[in-house]
Each structure stands twice: as C-alpha cells, then as structure tokens.
Structure 1
Amino acid sequence: MSVEDQLAVAETVYRYATGIDTRDFELYRSIFAPEVAIDFSSYSDREPATVTAEAWVASVLPLFCGLDATQHSMTNPLVEVDGDGARCRMYMQAHHVHRPDDPTSWFTIGGFYDDTLVRSADGPAGWLITGVTLTVLWRRGDADIMVAAAADGRDVLGGSGS
C-alpha cells in the first residue's frame, strides 16, 4: 500500500465534502462509480440501497440547494488499499444551516463515513467511491430543518429535484 494511494483515496473522500459544501454537484458526481451502495440508515429511515450515481446526486440536490450553508469537516482518514480496491473510514461533523440569522434553524451531526472505493482513471484523484455508509454518533439542533430545507430546495429547483 503506497502513501500515494492512501493520499489519493483520502482526497477522493474529501471531495465529497467539497462538492456538497460548495454546491459543485459536477465535482460531487465525479467521485462516484456508476453505481454506489448508500447506507444512511443510522441517520434516517431510508433503507440501504445501491443506486446510480446520477440518482444519488439528484436525491441530495433539493436538500443542499435548500440550505443556506453547510460545512462537512472530515478528519482522521484510515485508509486500507488492497490492489485496485480500498476502504476508508473518515470521521466527520456535518453542520447544516437553514437560516444563518436563526441558530434554532441549525442542525449538526457527528460520526464517521465508511467508504469503499475502486481504482479508476475516471476519478479526479484516480479512485471512485462505490459505497458510502454513514454512522451517526451524535446530533445537535433541530433535525426538522432538514425537511424544511429539502422543500425549499425543491421549490428552487422547480419541483423536479434535478
């Protein structure tokens, strides 16, 4: 396992946060394999599923377009590379702001992501994410702002979600 591979895998996962927080959904899409296994069941009632990357990105657009700001901080990458496959655990805090002037409309979660990746020349850093599992360890604030933000985002997007 080379240091270069370890850094490239971590960089791919960091681009997850950058794409969301800057609303660069082209960048966000670029880090995923054509199909991706998503498991956010520790956050919501959504069942784990394998979906196309396009469907995944389209599903998060309303939420993140409806929030005024987000900051996903990712730290302590633990990377394991085995040939053309890799795993990465990245600790995270995700701060969501629906209305900047109203701290009661903020919601933060903390925990970690466990990602699986495959080596690919199509990835900006040479790797693509094939699976994302979010484990939420704690929550602070009002989770209901996420529903309101998604509704606002659907309005911004013209009701289509994409």
Structure 2
Amino acid sequence: MTHDDLIDRAAITDHVLKYATGIDQHQWGLYRSIFADEIILDFSSWSGDPASTIPADDWVAGVRATLEPFDATQHVLTNFAIDLDGTRATCTCYMAAHHHLVVDGDRQMHSIGGYYVHELQRTGDGWLIHKTQLNVTWEMGDRGLFELAAKRGAATMA
C-alpha cells in the first residue's frame, strides 16, 4: 500500500463518518456535502423498495424529515474496509443506528444493525458518495416509532 493509498483511505473514512455526524447532530449541510448531486440508494433490506436514483437534495430532505423529530439518534460506523481503484472506491462499514423517542413520558427505542456499502468517486472537491446500499442484519424495537416521529414532525411544521 502506497502513501497516497493511506491518505485516500483516511480521507474516505473521515468522509463516510460525516454520514453519522450530519444526521445525529442535525448538520444537514454537512450531511449533504458527502454526496454527489445524484445518488443511487438501495435501502431495500430496510424498506423493501427497490434501489432508485434520486437527487441528493431530495434524499437529505427526506432523511431530515424522518429523523429530526426523534428526541435523539445515534449512528455508529465501524470496521471500515476500503477498496481503491484509481478515482473510484468502495467503502464497506458496519453500522448500528439507534432512534430514541419519548412517548407519554416513556423513552422508547428502535435500533437496526448491519453494514453499508458506499461507492465513491474522487472529484475536484474530494471523495463523494454516488451509491449507498444499506444491508440490515438485525432489528430491535418498535418500527412504529418512525410513524410517531413523523406525526410529531408534521405537528411541528403546522
């Protein structure tokens, strides 16, 4: 492995970690900055919907509307395996995502775990994610919390 490879691996790891930081700290500009303008998303293991290509701005707005109403979220990314191929890279990393919502004074939680496969391209602005695949391998808690959080978000916007 060359010195440049090590620099690229560190840059990609730091870049992908912004995925979790942007969501959990509600830094939506930071979260948007990690994606190409149009991205391929495959969250079929979570939603059952097929992969699709959408504008990154739409993706970020949807994630914000879905996750910001929670009282807290924590996305943890670890075990980065990065394959470099010139101006392209694939980053596979383990993930755990915890979603906390206080309902009638009771803290409830929904968690998922698995791994992401991010495909990135080097641009003049550095590495950008152009494809993301979420692979859920376990789930705990009530998925209905997402609906409750959405209602809370809609009520806040009204």
User: TM-score by structure 1 length?
Assistant: 0.90
Ranges in structure 2 where 5+ consecutive residues have no aligned partner: none
Higher relative contact order (CA 8 A, sep 6+): 1
Q: Which residue of 1 aligns with 2:16?
A: 13
- Asked if residue 102 in structure 1 is aligned to residue 91 in structure 2, the reply is no
Q: Which residue of 1 aligns with 2:145?
A: 145
Residues 23, 64 of structure 2: 8 Å contact kept: no
Give distance in 1, aligned partners of 2:30 and 2:85: 26
Q: Which residue of 1 aligns with 2:133?
A: 133
Q: Which residue of 2 aligns with 1:69?
A: 72
Give distance in 1, aligned partners of 2:56 and 2:88: 18
State, as a whole percentage, how many aligned pairs show the same letter: 42
Q: Secondary structure at the match of 2:59?
A: helix
Name the one with the larger strand percent: 2
- Give the superposition deviation at 1:20: 0.2
- Give the superposition deviation at 1:107: 0.3
Q: Which residue of 1 aligns with 2:81?
A: 78
Q: Which moved more, 1:87-96 or 1:143-152?
A: 143-152
Give distance in 2, aligned partners of 1:120 and 1:102: 46
**Structure 2 letter corresponding to 1:36:** I
Give distance in 2, aligned partners of 1:59 and 1:77: 26
Give distance in 1, aligned partners of 2:154 and 2:40: 24
Deviations 1:86-117 (A, max 9, x none): 000010100000118524x2100010000000
Q: Secondary structure at the match of 1:73?
A: strand
Q: Which runs of 4+ in 1 moved over 3 A?
A: none
Residues 42, 50 of structure 2: 8 Å contact kept: yes
Give distance in 2, aligned partners of 1:74 and 1:87: 15
Ranges in structure 1 where 5+ consecutive residues have no aligned partner: none
Give distance in 2, aligned partners of 1:129 and 1:7: 15
The Cα RMSD (Å) is 1.5
Residues 61, 153 of structure 1: 8 Å contact kept: no
Residues 41, 133 of structure 2: 8 Å contact kept: yes
Q: 2:38 aligns with which of 27, 35, 38?
A: 35
- Give the superposition deviation at 1:153: 1.9
